Amino acid sequence: MISLFSLAVVATLIAPAPLTAHISPEHQSLDVRLELNVPLPDVFMDALPSGGVVRVIYPLRVRSKRSFWWDGRIWKGELTSQVSFDPITGRYRCKLLLDEIVVDSKEVDTMNNAVTWLRAPPSVQLVLRDDFKKLDRLYLRARAVFSTSTTWLVFPDREGTDWVTVPVIQDPVAAKEPGKAPHADSG
């Protein structure tokens, strides 16, 4: 009984995160690339060849370690990876939207490429305030949302992954050394 419990605990600890975020800080911006590590729901896979629009919404939050109660949020937005099948051309139209503005689009031939677009969208630039200089205090929170609905017409209900928190800079000492560019890839 104890070995079965310890096996379950170990399996939980070594399970990969549902979402991986790769962050590259640049001058007053963050280059963010997300990768979904869990399979898409079966409903999505059935809807892709039917011509319906399939979306994975990635809510993003850039936050800072707080100095005061009110100064935690630095940036907030939604990255939407969207795919629709055009039955006339037989191609999939892929769009990437940041806060409902199209930042990238392309057409692909196969359903596998369309699924890749949904699970690992291209990277996006998140522009920070000009007066914010402390990158070692920042972290990114992200998740993948597959559907949003309401229960009993009142209570919001979202199906998706858990939130993942990633520091923008992994090693604050390396970021302060002259001649070294701050860089962080995390999972």
Question: Is position 5 within any domain?
Answer: no
pTM of the model: 0.76
Q: How many domains does the chain have?
A: 1
Question: Is position 26 within any domain?
Answer: no
Question: Is position 54 within any domain?
Answer: yes
Question: Is position 60 within any domain?
Answer: yes
Dihedral angle, C-alpha 46, 53, 79, 23, nearest 10 °? 40
Residue 99 main-chain phi, psi, to 5 deg: 55, 50
Question: Is position 134 within any domain?
Answer: yes
What is the full per-residue pLDDT of the chain (187 aa) written as tens digits?
Answer: 555 444 444 444 456 788 998 988 887 888 999 999 998 888 888 888 888 888 999 999 988 877 666 667 788 999 999 999 998 999 999 999 999 999 999 999 999 999 999 999 999 998 877 666 677 778 889 999 987 555 666 666 678 888 999 888 865 444 444 334 444 444 4
Question: Is position 59 within any domain?
Answer: yes
Question: Is position 25 within any domain?
Answer: no
Domain residues for the domain of 54 are 33-185
Which residue has tokens 């860089």? 183
